[in-house]
């Protein structure tokens, strides 16, 4: 009988820990941005033959929490135009958005 309260307390602590661990928003704004950018770039019609398409996207956020693409570092001009058209001036949900801060996110389109 004396062990029951201890077992219940342990179960309560484990349950609370799991709730906090499964929070969909992270404390890392870069990770949140990467997740949202992957959703914006998800539906595409690229035909990938031999290799994946890759790029590094340099962007900032304006006062309305919209992405402003500065550059897309890639050898594929079509991928560059695609990324710019999909990301430029798309609003993102970010708790700690810093206007004017530069972010770099790697992008990979796989077949």
Instruction: Check: pTM over 0.75? Answer yes or no.
Output: no
Query: Domain for residue 2, yes or no?
Result: no
* pLDDT over threshold 80, residue 24: no
Query: Domain for residue 8, yes or no?
Result: no
* pLDDT over threshold 50, residue 63: yes
Q: Any idea which residue has 């972010």 for tokens?
A: 103
Query: Domain for residue 102, yes or no?
Result: yes
Q: Any idea which residue has 């990301």 for tokens?
A: 87
Question: What's the CATH code of the domain at 75?
Answer: 3.30.1150
Domain count, the chain: 1
Q: Any idea which residue has 């290799």 for tokens?
A: 51
Across residues 48-52, what is the average pLDDT? 73
Query: Domain for residue 3, yes or no?
Result: no
Query: Domain for residue 18, yes or no?
Result: no
Q: Any idea which residue has 């919209």 for tokens?
A: 66
Query: Domain for residue 37, yes or no?
Result: yes
What confidence category does residue 25 fall into, taking pLDDT thresholds of 50, 70 and 90?
A: low
* pLDDT over threshold 80, residue 67: yes
- Joined together, the tokens standing for residue 85 give 């058209």
* pLDDT over threshold 70, residue 10: no
- % of the chain surpassing 70 pLDDT: 72
Rounded CA-CA distance 108/78 in Å is 14
Across residues 32-40, what is the average pLDDT? 90
Considering only residues 36 and 22, tell me which one the structure prediction assigns the higher pLDDT. 36
- Domain span holding position 55: 26-109
Query: Domain for residue 19, yes or no?
Result: no
């Amino acid at each position: 009988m004396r062990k029951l309260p201890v077992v219940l307390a342990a179960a309560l602590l484990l349950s609370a820990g799991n709730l906090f661990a499964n929070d969909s928003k992270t404390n890392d704004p870069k990770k949140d941005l990467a997740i949202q950018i992957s959703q914006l770039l998800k539906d595409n019609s690229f035909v990938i033959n031999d290799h994946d398409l890759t790029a590094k996207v340099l962007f900032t956020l304006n006062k309305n929490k919209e992405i402003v693409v500065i550059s897309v570092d890639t050898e594929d001009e079509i991928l560059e135009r695609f990324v710019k058209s999909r990301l430029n001036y798309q609003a993102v949900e970010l708790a700690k958005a810093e206007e004017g801060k530069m972010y770099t996110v790697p992008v990979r389109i796989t077949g």
